[in-house]
Structure 1
């Protein structure tokens, strides 16, 4: 469950896409009775499955599932397609290209029928109004599971002119579910060898610990990151609102973009210090997503911003690179040091970080079927099935615990390769903290899973969720939306981290430069709208 982090792209690409998109929304697959941006009438005969339908689907690494040797024997997937009389055409996306591909597809009117992505709020609103995305029907009663999802308070910001244009990929039930969304993983064993048996109580202690470990392990990086956005983990220890670079905060009775606040200075200075002190991986700015995670797993870094849980593949990578080392005793979670107010903060926000979308050109007939499939895929029945396998075949419930029945060296990904990818189309991992996920037969994997659950519960007791205001997030004004689509804030943070001279002076200049990008107008519009709505 992650907080809905909106992935940013280069300004040039975004402008190009927005230019091409003008007037976008008319396509050959458009129902003759539905204009672009108009909600389909999906309430009639919602259970009619007599006609076979093909749906093109894009979700991370889906093609690998279809290409797997055992793909045709994926019973969970075969049962799903039979249940809804569908065939699925996989459309590949990876963690290296997913954010760019969706914009190219939109510009060329080639969006898949169903696709998972994290489109930033400004672009989402623009696409909704242009007809690039298809709105959900006003009446969701034929889809009770979706109806429940879409009534959640956290979904309010997704409404555009009274309609929803996406289905959030939920992973939890409240704003605190994302408390491990920006984790700090570290080699606990290395820290103990260097004489550090307790978590650091300040940034300075973290820096000292990391340098001590690096001295004992020459050549390693002190800190790597899963992706550039994970740099913002640093702000949990000083100004948690900045964990989302496009968030807003209230100061002196006035709403302002968080990055314009003086409270951002501490985190900016700390990031520069990590880099100049040689702690932050020197390649962080040019790496691909997950490169930093792989370095950590391979014993090439001490700490990592990222990696909430450990997958089977990641566990195998660690074991291969660190022979004789117990993964569960080596890879710990570090609680962030207290902020200036004395509180330790964790990630919080909407219990989803991305959504499932449908193109505006999708016919009503296909849309009905897609919604039927989605309604089932977000149900508890399918979630348990998709993540744990078949009861009494792949697992059993024993004394309330989900116990694996898989043979040695047998994995669900091998048995159900398509399902192992497709299951993430509708929701993120929703079962772990509810006690409904199978405990692996691999003792190390089981121990890592227990550590993750125990840490989640510990942070729930010890930490405070970062401030969240869904009513405010739902505010939409022209200047705010234009500003929200600007991807440059994260780029500028990286620029300051890599720069020379006084980082705070550089950051002040950057903040000032946003005046010409409409930030003063956005602040004026937002505060006027907040006042009208009584948002404090």
Structure 2
């Protein structure tokens, strides 16, 4: 359950970007206006050629992740030659990505393309209102395959009516699934758990019955990423009826922070797990689901989330370094008291946005590259170039070559734009069986999507103080779990959140919710 506390510095820098930056960009903006007026006129006369690539362009891009080798990379060379462009790529993979974007905006140095992903959705709306993004909707008539690739809701989400600021980026909402040490189950004579009570019994046995046979107290049941992260809370919080963020109850939106009964059950479960050593003692220190995931890889935890498209080359391999007999089994989230099952469900409003200051020629060139990347170029920026990155044998099997890892074509494709394909990491050389297994995992996960009933509505009060309220709320709940406070303080935490501004957030959200429903009735 990611909390969208808005960072005040964003607004500060943004104001600077569109005031102090005006003078230095006035000349460029004037040229852009003149050029775009001409292009628009030509377009209206059916003479504009969006696929005319005679003019060489440099396209700057800011993305996340580790740098990909650029020099002598045949995939980059192919794309650049085809579209007559040169890429200028900057990688920034740190937690302060929002602040970094704001700094670039303040200095007038925003790139041509960047990724809007984990950022606060209010940040997207504010920047859109101030004209930071290029509206690509009028240009999509020239790129029908690109428009058709993504569902209408993905184009529309976060955008004002009639505008498409950015191109949607596919993000599998229900990706991760639970893995359990099958060898530990076999050693202890236990079955894969189906309910939350059975889950706890198995996790308790993994902690106290020496499942790895070392004779030491060196195993735990499960880890966690804090108490309320959407990547890590799902099978627990959702099973007890907690909202992912907001839940429609009798026509009104209710946040998880106000669900006293459900919170009491959930926190009681976690407190018991902590007291009895079933829960990782460092759970409150984890800031990424992979932090908790390492407990499984290191042979310490018996149950944890994994990524189905990479478990075969990560956790399933890593854990064997600690125990050659280790085997993992994957299973659905356990059923809660009322039968609820929820799997980690990630936000799906990721977009690749284009700087509003680029020329129309450049905007079209970018969209053309995107369109190629999800059509004719899709297999190239996924599997690479035949003979360089893979080879096809006479029997039809495909072998990955070392250059694929060196040149990272799949990462290049992802950094450009992801196609709407949940199996984009089912590479040819992994075989049909792997693809079918992966598809089955995702089909299972989709049954247990943890819905957030908030249709991207934003409370002004939540923007201002929501982050602080949530931090204080989780701190108090964590103190209850680790025994520094009593269970009676669950109600204290709920009341404090409500009284310190939470109720105002609820009121504002439901006023917006009523308006939202009225416009769609």
Distance 1:437 1:106 in 2: 38
Q: Which has the higher contact order (CA 8 A, sep 6+)?
A: 1
Note the 1:136-535 alignment, pairs <5 A.
Answer: 136-149=136-149, 152-160=152-160, 162-171=162-171, 178-179=173-174, 181-202=175-196, 204-215=197-208, 216=210, 218-225=217-224, 228-233=229-234, 234-239=236-241, 241-242=243-244, 245=245, 248-262=246-260, 264-265=262-263, 266-289=265-288, 290-310=290-310, 314=314, 318=318, 321-322=321-322, 324-325=324-325, 330-346=327-343, 352=348, 354-377=350-373, 379-390=374-385, 394=390, 396=392, 403-406=397-400, 410=402, 412-414=404-406, 416-417=407-408, 419-428=409-418, 431=421, 433=423, 437-440=427-430, 451-459=437-445, 463-467=447-451, 473=455, 476=457, 479=460, 482=463, 486=467, 489=470, 492-493=473-474, 495-499=476-480, 500-502=485-487, 504-515=490-501, 518-534=504-520
2:86 paired residue number: 87
Mark the CA change 1:231 to 1:190 in structure 2 (over 3 Å): closer, same or farther.
same
Distance 2:343 2:39 in 1: 42
CA contact (8 A) 1:349 1:468 kept: no
* Per-residue deviation, residues 89-110 of structure 1 (Å, max 9, x unmatched): 2211226554553344344443
Q: Which piece of structure 1 moves more, 118-127 or 146-155? A: 146-155
Please give the TM-score of this superposition, normalised by the length of structure 2: 0.79
CA contact (8 A) 1:183 1:305 kept: yes
Distance 1:510 1:395 in 2: 62
Secondary structure, in 3 states, of the residue corresponding to 1:440? helix
* Per-residue deviation, residues 331-383 of structure 1 (Å, max 9, x unmatched): 33231112344243345687x45221223444444333222222222x24333
What displacement does 1:81 show?
1.4
Note the 1:44-63 alignment, pairs <5 A.
Answer: 44-63=48-67
Mark the CA change 1:318 to 1:151 in structure 2 (over 3 Å): closer, same or farther.
closer
Q: Which piece of structure 1 moves more, 219-228 or 151-160? A: 219-228
User: For structure 1, which runs of at least 5 residues remain unmatched after alignment?
Assistant: 172-176
What displacement does 1:318 show?
0.7
Q: Which has the larger radius of gyration?
A: 2
CA contact (8 A) 1:220 1:300 kept: yes
Secondary structure, in 3 states, of the residue corresponding to 1:140? helix
Mark the CA change 1:366 to 1:225 in structure 2 (over 3 Å): closer, same or farther.
farther
CA contact (8 A) 2:232 2:344 kept: no
Mark the CA change 1:338 to 1:104 in structure 2 (over 3 Å): closer, same or farther.
farther
Distance 2:287 2:206 in 1: 25
* Per-residue deviation, residues 207-265 of structure 1 (Å, max 9, x unmatched): 221121122153344323468542322223233642xx3xx322122233344334642
Secondary structure, in 3 states, of the residue corresponding to 1:21? helix
Secondary structure, in 3 states, of the residue corresponding to 2:194? coil
Distance 1:387 1:523 in 2: 42
Distance 1:142 1:403 in 2: 38
User: For structure 2, which runs of at least 5 residues remain unmatched after alignment?
Assistant: none
What displacement does 1:79 show?
0.8
* Per-residue deviation, residues 168-215 of structure 1 (Å, max 9, x unmatched): 2114xxxxx633x3422332322332322222312x322221121122
CA contact (8 A) 1:346 1:465 kept: yes
